[in-house]
Structure 1
Amino acid sequence: MFFIRVLWSFGLMLLLLLGNSEAQAGELAERLTNFPQWEKLTSVKPAAGDLVYPDWMAGNWQVTSTLVDLAAPLAPDIITPGFEGNRRQLNQPISFLVRFIEVKPQVSGSKLIPKIDNQNQILVADRAFNSLNLSRAYLGNKAVLSVKIDPESPNRQITFLQGERQLVSIVTARATETAPDQFITTEVFQQLFKGSSRPYFNIVESTTAYHQLATSNPAIEADQVTAVYLSPQDPDYFTAGSRPVALYRYRLDFLPPSQQNTSQE
């Protein structure tokens, strides 16, 4: 079942304003280097607010996502549903549109307001647009009906799927690191897939390092690892401990799209 993979890499990378939840220097970068030897992060902080991206990520992008590696550290004893099926995605590029927009910061639980002036603006992902495009690229247009973001919290998202199924994603913690021309972020969230005979619940961490290639040629590349952990409700939870049961590594390439491709269907 592909839903276990993070479909919200661009739509739900949320954290406190830059600097408010920074991991220890270099921890996230080192984490990517150490793939697939992972344990749960200890430096993340509770989720609040929205992620502020660097200015060089503003605008519309055509993204190509390629699964380049995957691992099941606890196999054959513990393997998540869909892991073997996801091997078919290995080295198969998938393309979709994403965009990052300027908004006024969210205050007192109010809804984010699109940019209307130059004061106090932050750059965030257009979560509904990005998540819809990403999920439809993998699952098909007919399989994904819509994506809704909680107007009171950017940390909660529901994807409505064909057959009265839903995938609920709630961000619970995150951290970030910054360096010249590089932005690294991680988020931890809960996923609940509803609509089958047995609801499936797990915990997911997504860590992504964005790198600006050149200011003269606006393009970005990213290294992303998605880790799936068992929830406390899972009978194998104590066996797995702090170790992930599935790891997926992606290469992301961002290029400016043609103007006619920037509108959502």
Structure 2
Amino acid sequence: MPRPLRILIRRRLSWLLLLLTVWLLCSGEAVALPLSDRFQDFPAWEKLPLPGAKGDLAYPDWMAGTWELTSTLVDLAAPLAPDIVTPGFESNQSMLDQPITCVVRFVEAPTLLSGFFPRVLSQGDIVADRAFNGLNMAQAYLGEAAVKAVKVDPNNPNRQLTLLDQGRQLESTVTARTTEAPQADRFITAERFQQVFRGTAVPYLNEVETTTDYWNLGDHIEADQVTAVYLSPQDPDFLAALGQPVALYRYHLHLSPLIADGANP
């Protein structure tokens, strides 16, 4: 093969490899490490390139039913303190080791079929009842008087609006998601949310990523959960944060089945 041709081929291959590397780094499908490995390094936490969220998050069948959820904050960190600390981080330290209990449920995903007599059919996928769970969890943390309602966009299960007292609102939109099922009794999820809090002179924006490792232990479910808070590009400290989380919260979750529901195993 002539030498000039070999040089040209090498250059083309180098460009192809470079383009492939850039595509993998930018694509949401490229997750650097298994989700299960992330928990071992807490509070060292990196932002993963997650795939874009499409449809709703499907859970394994063993999560179907109604559960009593006990959520306990077991650790928290502000990696960039004292230079950058998010609003509420200091007050959240009082929640450490304080269990919060509420009822949550996971149901079969409905599909609305159009026609003269629309009817709802189940797809078989198990999904979170986001409005029910969101309301119960928000009221458990903030108090019933502080949370008026939680609404989910009927056309987009990834968009949720929490109506608070004094006309305040929290809009959350799931923008990215991935899941893993390392074994039959284990399920790991990672979801990234864009949040907008309205009710002040200037709306507050941030990005939240929640990674949860669920274990089916037969008579109950336990989970390890980490919520990472990132600054939005509109924040004046965004560039200084260099894409690192500004707050980390680690929870232990315990889900006990409510047998009266009749849907739990």
More helix, by proportion: 2
Deviation, structure 1 residue 257: 2.5
Is residue 175 of structure 1 aligned with residue 178 of structure 2? Answer: yes
Query: Structure 1 residues 92, 65: CA separation in 2 closer, same or farther (over 3 Å shift)?
Result: same
Number of the residue aligned with 1:190:
194
Deviation, structure 1 residue 41: 0.5
Query: Structure 1 residues 236, 64: CA separation in 2 closer, same or farther (over 3 Å shift)?
Result: same
Q: Which runs of 4+ in 1 moved over 3 A?
A: 21-26, 104-108, 113-116
Number of the residue aligned with 1:54:
60
Deviation, structure 1 residue 48: 1.1
Number of the residue aligned with 1:156:
159
Number of the residue aligned with 1:72:
78
Within 5 Å, give how 1:89-108 maps onto structure 2: 89-104=95-110
Number of the residue aligned with 1:144:
147
Further displaced range: 32-41 or 150-159: 32-41
Matched residue type, 1:161? L
Unpaired runs of 5+ residues, structure 1, are 1-20
Asked if the contact 2:31/2:48 (under 8 Å) is kept, the reply is no
| Residue 46 of structure 2, aligned match among 6, 25, 39 | 39
Is residue 84 of structure 1 aligned with residue 113 of structure 2? Answer: no
Asked if the contact 1:103/1:114 (under 8 Å) is kept, the reply is no
Q: Aligned Cα RMSD in Å?
A: 2.1
- Tell me the percent identity: 58
Provide the secondary structure at the position in 2 that maps to 1:121: strand
* Larger Rg computed on CA atoms: 2
Deviation, structure 1 residue 114: 5.4
Number of the residue aligned with 1:3:
none
| CA distance in structure 1 between the partners assigned to 2:165 and 2:110 by the alignment | 34
Deviation, structure 1 residue 187: 0.5
Asked if the contact 1:172/1:190 (under 8 Å) is kept, the reply is yes
Provide the secondary structure at the position in 2 that maps to 1:203: strand
